[in-house]
């Protein structure tokens, strides 16, 4: 067994080809009310694909939320949170109608 070098961080190196796009999404700043409203309308608060299929009152099957398979899921949720925070904290608007 070898001991770690003093320069190792203990983290495993992973190659993420989508990292530049993710970084760009994370750097988006919400600075206007209209942009914040647009973000809140476009990015849903819950997965729109999750469904429970029922026929004649009997549950046949359940389609689980598939949004977490999206590689940009965390970035979109973060952007929506920035928009909601901007509307609530900076603009003083009531954002209850945007929250599920």
Whether 83 shows a pLDDT value over 90: the answer reads yes
Report field, pTM of the whole predicted structure over 0.85:
no
pLDDT digits (tens, 9 = 90+) for 22-74: 999 999 999 999 999 999 999 998 888 888 999 998 999 888 888 888 899 99
How distant, in Å, are the alpha carbons of 17, 41, 46, 90, 91 from that of 71? Answer: 11, 20, 16, 30, 31
What one-character DSSP code corresponds to residue 90? I
Residues in the chain: 100
Whether 4 shows a pLDDT value over 70: the answer reads no
Check residue 9 and give its pLDDT: 67
Check residue 98 and give its pLDDT: 86
């Amino acid at each position: 067994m070898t001991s770690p070098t003093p320069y190792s961080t203990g983290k495993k190196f992973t190659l993420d080809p989508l990292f530049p796009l993710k970084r760009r999404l994370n750097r988006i700043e919400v600075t206007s009310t209209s942009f914040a409203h647009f973000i809140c309308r476009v990015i849903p608060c819950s997965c729109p694909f999750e469904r429970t299929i029922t026929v004649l009152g009997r549950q046949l099957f359940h389609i689980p939320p598939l949004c977490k398979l999206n590689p940009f899921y965390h970035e979109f949720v973060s952007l929506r949170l920035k928009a909601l925070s901007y509307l609530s904290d900076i603009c003083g608007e009531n954002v209850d109608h945007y929250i599920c």
